[in-house]
Structure 1
Amino acid sequence: MRIIKRSFLFMPSLLQASRCHSAPSSPAWRLFSAVASSPKVCIVGGGPAGYYTAQHLLKARSDMVVDIYERLPVPFGLVRFGVAPDHPEVKNVINTFTQTAQHKRCSFFGNVSIGTDVSVEELKKAYHAVVLSYGAEGNRLMGVPGEDLAGVFSARDFVGWYNGLPSNKELQPDLSCETAVVLGQGNVALDVARILLSPLDFLKKTDITQQALKSLRESRVRRVLIVGRRGPLQIACTIKEVREMINLPETNADMLPGDFEDIAEALKDLPRPRKRLTELMLKTVKVDDGQKANKQWGFRFLRSPLKVLSDRDGKKVAGIRLAVNKLEGSGEDARALPTGQTQDLECGLLISSIGYKSLPIDPSVPFDPHTSTVPNDMGRVSHTAGLYCSGWVKRGPTGVIATTMNDSFETARILLKDVESGALELSSNKAGAQEITSLLQTRGVRPVSFSEWEKINLEEVRRGEVLEKPREKVLDVKEMLDIAWS
């Protein structure tokens, strides 16, 4: 007993020191764990959902230990690889995530692929609770002939290309055409259109990759049409994104007045955000200064893809055949029905922005292929004790970062409620990161800690300073690891 009492005298400082590293593994740590068990939670995914969940858990309980596992060597997920480079203000949330990551009871383990390097069942044995927050890495397909032609890309891959996602660094889109078509009318679709038409002098001051900047410098794209299956009153983007398109230098809006017939009459009954957005579009339709700008963009409503048209060789996209729709019903619930008419649009670049989808992570985890989500009740995974989810894998790929924050806080509250009620069993001691890092070592997997990520961060900022931009991202995973472990 004396040995145990003496151990307690120095253990709090040792615990704090251990949490600052990737994996506590000393004999003293094991002795402390055996005497005083604290809730250990593992979060799968180092994006916004993961960090917001961790933030709430750590703030709520002074004994909570949280470990975040991420497939890539770098954290922050969609904030790093999804937010448009000309929206740096949105990326400021990284400062909050960094504070969470540097918390003494939080550890980051990058370069660890859950489902491949470690199974979810192994995580459940090592932790009291596991939260799946790994986002949506798949693309929704159009499901039409020709979508595999050269020159057809998903918005996810195109955004990943200009934002430096390692898996998209070889994309090399051909921008030698005059017209590009973007299918979908959400914020991501408008991000893509804006990047294609933005002045180079502006983009080169952002963290867009140099290889994307080089391609855009040589681009001949002068016209971007943004196509949606429903009407102006159902458009999915926000007023901020539309205003940015309207304000693009040397660029005119190309709208079809017929798309907005009778829309003005519906304005009075619209919710305020929808009303302001619709009024802005109506104002844009009526503006015609008589000057033809160098570049154009425009919405095309009530159109759905039927077939991607190929060039003479049958290898590359030359256009898109669209079904002309009519609306049944009104407001947000209106359905698009085909009229039997079709329209062909010529284009040399086609980008599908019809949505992302989550993918199954592990055979032991329930997964709904129709919704591409993990079945859950407010974050509790159905029929699986100790397993939770947050973010897009919980609710589907919708909303902005603030939506993900609220969603993740909800999951954290549910988990904490289960701890307090006893629904989440804490009586058995769990080894947490110590057990998982031992497994990884035997499998030849070396995690990247947050301090090692910070070495990558510093190198990216240094490279950016040379180019007079915020950062130049490292695109290759091997190079990331070389920097992290140097």
Structure 2
Amino acid sequence: MWGLSRCLSVPRGWLLLTTGVQRPFSSVSHTPQICIVGSGPAGFYTAQHILKHNPKAQVDIYEKLPVPFGLVRFGVAPDHPEVKNVINTFTQTARSDRCAFLGNVMVGRDITVEELQAAYHAVVLSYGAEDKRELSIPGEDLPGVYSARDFVGWYNGLPDNRHLNPDLSCDTAVILGQGNVALDIARILLSPVDILRKTDITQDALDALSKSRVRRVWMVGRRGPLQVAFTIKELREMINLPGTRPKLDPADYMGLEKAIKDLPRPRKRLTELLVKSALEKPDHKVEANWARAEKEWGLRFFRSPFAVLPSEDGKRAARIRLSVTRLEGMGETAVAVPTGQVENISCGLIFSSIGYKSASISSTVPFLPKQGVIPNSMGRVEGIPGLYCSGWVKRGPTGVITTTMTDSFDTAQAILEDVQTGALNWSEPRAGSVTILELLHLRGIQPVSFSDWEKIDEVETSRGLTVGKPREKILDTEEMLQLVCR
């Protein structure tokens, strides 16, 4: 990879010396040096707040991929382009003279957290939740069973998932989970391909979906309709999806009208829409769409995955065995417990959408594996001054981008407060990226700058323009690196 280094462009404010090491123009002795690990929403929002409220701070953002933006690029559904508009704000942050993006650098492998701590006054861990939660049931390793994370990464162009090649030859898919990611997957599986052609979904995914035989999708949840985790916007999209009709059992919604009046407003509106869709006759336009529909989706409540059953030849998944549950407790805190009954659903495609999970980045950083978070107080990592965290690795994989924004601002504010109170001392000079770039040079690792990313971005948007899409994502990291050498 070092052979590419001489043709990569230089990040803002850096001077490329003859040794190949990049150094700042100005002295670092009185400059607050801060680095952020992870270039998703949590990382960029943390950087944005620090740069806005400390006019001297230098913020470096490290990212393991050559491209920035994390789950905004690789997690947001391709048919939700409006959610990706935050990239415009992140781009403004990255173009600041006091901010540098260092892609193609994996902290924990290419550089250690301890080396970052020695080079910077403050280190913020914002690397998200990149692992998948396991079902831990028999048969989950059978062909035909996929994690939601891998499937979403596949159709969104995550390099790690580009060879997933999911088998879409069956007529029924089951999604284990009832959150927004589950609805995203159901919508992608059932959407008319002509709609998806106008998005930034990958060409490989488009080709596979155009040949898909999936006509029915069940979304299964351990609890009931009062505990679903998706939001009203995503539910409304599913109800109005062209060529598709909902299959909602009226018995699941009987009596909920009485409970609705005491619910918080967001949950109240969501439950009202569920009840209306299940119990009331739709208007003429919706009814006509449902009557013509060749595809359908439904919600199955009070069911928990028990086992994946193989086909007769044992070569792939053929059924999912579900444990029937009942609720103990009320509302959001109600717990599903098994009744001892089981039932099977025939299906050739199963997605586990039971959540993401963060992983430990270093043995020196405290980590709670069960919760998948770094123990912290308002973003301050317990017991380690100068080490902070934000985003999903701070609070767990919950919430939307606006939740992450608020959370990240809180961490950034904690850093700023620590500067004011003296808990974080800037008086001792830190070399920041100078030290890290020297280490990377010795290890044959060349970071990708934000201007390098803009070259990749230009190629992707140009390729997309030729086929009527906002972009055609490059799936191979080596191709990305070669592009910045042009």
Q: TM-score, normalised by structure 2?
A: 0.94
Distance 1:461 1:29, change over 3 A: closer
- Secondary structure of the residue that 2:174 maps to in structure 1? strand
1:89 aligned partner:
82
Checking the alignment, whether the CA contact within 8 Å between 1:133 and 1:390 is kept in structure 2 is: yes
**Pairwise CA distance, 1:33:** 2.1
* Equivalent in the alignment of 1:134: 127
Match of 2:457 in 1: 457
Q: Is the 8 Å Cα contact of residues 24 and 433 (structure 1) preserved in structure 2? A: no
Give how far 1:256 is off.
1.3
Q: Distance between the aligned counterparts of 1:259 and 1:327, measured in 2?
A: 14
SS in 2 for 1:208: coil
Q: Post-superposition, which runs of at least 4 consecutive aligned residues in structure 1 deviate over 4 A?
A: 21-32, 287-290
- 2:388 counterpart SS class: strand
> What are the Cα deviations for residues 33-89 of structure 1, in whole angstroms up to 9, with x where unaligned?
26x411100000011000000000000011010000000000000000000000000
Aligned runs of 1:472-483 on 2, under 5 Å?
A: 472-483=472-483
Please state how far the C-alpha of 1:19 moved relative to its aligned partner. Answer: 6.8
- Residue deviations 1:340-373 (CA, integer Å, cap 9, x gap): 1111001110000000000111121111111111
The within-5 A match list for 1:32-431 is 32-33=26-27, 36-287=29-280, 289=287, 291=291, 293-431=293-431
Report Cα offsets for 1:237-289 as digits up to 9, x if no partner.
00000000000011110011221122111011111111111110111112565
- The alpha-carbon distance between structure 1 residues 471 and 457, as it changes in their structure 2 partners (threshold 3 A), is same
Report how far residue 292 of structure 1 moved: 6.1
Cα 1:484–1:146, aligned 2, differ >3 Å: closer, same or farther?
same
**Given the alignment, which residue of 20, 24, 42 partners 2:12?**
20
State whether residues 193 and 209 of structure 2, in contact with CA within 8 Å, keep that contact through their aligned partners in structure 1.
yes
The residue type equivalent to 2:141 in the other structure is D
Conservation of the 8 A alpha-carbon contact between 2:222 and 2:303: yes
Cα deviation, residue 319, structure 1? 1.1
**2:4 equivalent in structure 1:** none
Distance 1:383 1:190, change over 3 A: same
Q: 2 CA distance for matches of 1:22 and 1:328?
A: 60
Render the CA deviation track for 1:304-332: whole Å, top value 9, x for unaligned.
00001110121211010001111111111
Between the aligned partners of 1:311 and 1:138, the Cα distance in structure 2 is 28
Bigger mean CA offset, 233-242 vs 251-260: 251-260
How far did 1:24 drift?
Answer: 7.1
- Pick which of 335-344 and 168-177 moved more: 335-344
Q: Which amino acid aligns with 2:79?
A: D
SS at match of 2:173: strand
Name whichever of 290-299 and 323-332 sits farther off: 290-299
Question: Could you tell me the percent identity over the aligned residues?
Answer: 62
Conserved in 2, the CA contact under 8 Å of 1:368 and 1:375? yes
> Contact between 1:33 and 1:431, CA under 8 Å: does it hold in 2?
no
- Gap change, CA 1:106 and 1:199, over 3 Å in 2: same
Q: Give the whole-Å Cα distance in 2 for the aligned partners of 1:83 and 1:313.
A: 37
CA root-mean-square deviation:
1.7
Please state whether the residue corresponding to 2:451 is helix, strand or coil. Answer: helix
Distance 2:245 2:11 in 1: 55
Distance in 2 (CA, whole Å) between partners of 1:196 and 1:455 is: 32
Q: Which residue type is aligned with residue 379 of structure 1? A: G
CA distance in 2, matches of 1:428, 1:25: 25
Contact 1:42 1:127 in 2 (8 A): yes
Q: C-alpha separation between the residues in 1 aligned to 2:358 and 2:217?
A: 28
Return the structure number with greater relative CO, CA threshold 8 A, min gap 6.
2
Question: CA 1:240/1:22 → structure 2, altered by over 3 Å: closer, same or farther?
Answer: farther
Matches of 1:197 and 1:442 in 2, distance apart?
50
Per-residue deviation, 1:32 = 4.4
- Between the aligned partners of 1:37 and 1:299, the Cα distance in structure 2 is 58
1:293 Cα offset (Å): 2.2
State which drifts further: 371-380 or 18-27: 18-27
Structure 2: segments with no counterpart, 5+ residues = 1-9, 282-286
The whole-number CA distance in structure 2 between the counterparts of 1:304 and 1:406 is 33
The separation in 2 between residues aligned to 1:30 and 1:111, in whole angstroms, is 20
Of 365-374 and 291-300, deviating more is 291-300
Stretch of structure 1 that moved more, 327-336 or 391-400: 327-336
User: Residues 152-176 of structure 1, C-alpha deviation per residue, up to 9 Å, x if partnerless?
Assistant: 0010000000000000000000000
Distance 1:181 1:480 in 2: 35
What TM-score does the superposition give when structure 1 sets the normalisation length? 0.94
Counterpart residue type for residue 93 of structure 2: T
Give the Å deviation of 1:31: 8.8
The number of residues matched between the two structures is 468
Query: Which residue of the partner structure matches residue 6 of structure 1?
Result: none
Q: Structure 1 residues 327-336 or 94-103, which shifts more? A: 327-336
